[in-house]
Amino acid sequence: MRRKVSVVGAGKVGSTVAHILALKHMADVVIVNRTVGTAQGIALDIKQSLHIEDSDVNVIGTSDYGQMAGSDIVVVTAGAQRKEGMTRDDLLRVNSDIIGGVADEIKKNAPQSIVIVVTNPLDAMAQLTKARTGFGRERVIGMAGALDSARFGAFIGEELGVSVNDIRPMVLGSHGDSMVAALSTTTVHGTPVAKLIEKEKLSKIVARTRDGGAEIIKLEGSSAYYAPASAAVSMVDAILNDRKRVIPCSVYLEGEYGISGVFAGVPVMLGKGGAEKVVELALPEEERKALADSAAKIKQSMAQLKL
């Protein structure tokens, strides 16, 4: 049986996720969007490109959530996007209404799927999705640290002039202002990054990583989509192909790192079962406290949803 991934939302992130999945021959793709013409047009454009790319996967666009039936994975990108001057938390109220409805449709039409949430504020939207679907924690995963770590790694590589293949970045906590750059476990060819980049310069790189999305909005006028889409697809790949890759993701914590009852970014082993294992790193006390503080801020945000 062909594998199937549904992408909810046909904006820049969703359409790019669908395109990358099709280019990689990863699965049949269903793009679900409230404006059917938009979804159909994007799907048709991607489908026509696949003859050139030697990819035989099927791509359809629809406004009918029933087309998600049988999906192995659902990637949720629907919702309002940040504009300049907005924080991710500014999106909480408007996107909670949208994502709550999407979660209900996933529960109804793709009850066996694994869900990857991309919509901001990401940690809160992942927790809302888990609450509305009733899925186990291994089946609802937020795309957080995968993107933030990629940004961190890109800036480290730019500074040191080394191959991306030698950089192992790690960003934990909230996908937002309280993210935690785990310098203790971020290495370049096995060497801790703090030994290669002087402290003040490294602090600026961490700050640029934290503001990575805002920087793109300021330059381009809209939210990032290439890197978020690639990050989401890396998670889809790890799950569909049972790669057992350890990727920082937002998952519901049940005591790991001393945190319970909230989604937060931590290293997670991804395989065919979804979030199969939370990997507990031996973080120094300073980073462990920063992670706890980040989780506390996520809880404060979550309180507005009254789940």
In the CATH scheme, what architecture does the domain 4-142 have? 3-Layer(aba) Sandwich (3.40)
Look at strands 28-32 and 4-8 and give their pairing. parallel
- Amino acid making up residue 203: S
Closest CA to 119 of 76, 74, 86: 76
Whole-angstrom Cα distance, residue 17 to residue 15?
5
For 38, the token pair is: 């938009």
pTM across the whole model: 0.95
Is 19 a residue of the active site?
no
For 281, the token pair is: 């790193």
Catalytic hit among 19, 25, 51, 175: 175
Whole-angstrom Cα distance, residue 112 to residue 134?
11
Closest CA to 116 of 247, 24, 286: 247
Burial class (CB in 10 A: 0-12, 13-18, 19+), 16: buried
Q: Residue for token digits 């060497």?
A: 191
pLDDT in tens, 46-63: 999 999 999 999 999 999
CB atoms closer than 10 angstroms to residue 261: 12
Q: State residue 87's pLDDT score.
A: 66
Q: Which value, in Å, is the radius of gyration of the alpha carbons in the chain?
A: 18
Whole-angstrom Cα distance, residue 214 to residue 64?
33
pLDDT in tens, 2-48: 899 999 999 999 999 999 999 999 999 999 999 989 999 999 999 99
Q: State residue 306's pLDDT score.
A: 66
Categorise residue 187: left if φ over 0, alpha if ψ from -120 to 50, beta otherwise.
beta
Q: Residue for token digits 């549904």?
A: 6
Q: State residue 144's pLDDT score.
A: 85
Task: Name the DSSP letter for residue 305.
Answer: T
Whole-angstrom Cα distance, residue 39 to residue 11?
9
Q: Residue for token digits 């694994």?
A: 114
Complete edge-to-edge strand list for the sheet that includes strand 191-192: 167-168, 187-188, 191-192
For 143, the token pair is: 């795309």
Mean pLDDT by 10 residues, the chain (307 residues): 93 97 97 95 97 95 98 96 68 89 98 97 94 97 95 97 95 90 96 97 96 91 93 98 97 97 96 98 96 93 75
For 231, the token pair is: 């990050």
Q: State residue 39's pLDDT score.
A: 97
CATH number among 3.40.50.10880, 3.30.450.90, 3.90.110.10, 3.10.20.30, domain 145-302: 3.90.110.10
For 237, the token pair is: 């790949």
Q: State residue 36's pLDDT score.
A: 87
Domain-wise residue ranges, the chain: 4-142, 145-302
Closest CA to 250 of 268, 238, 231: 268
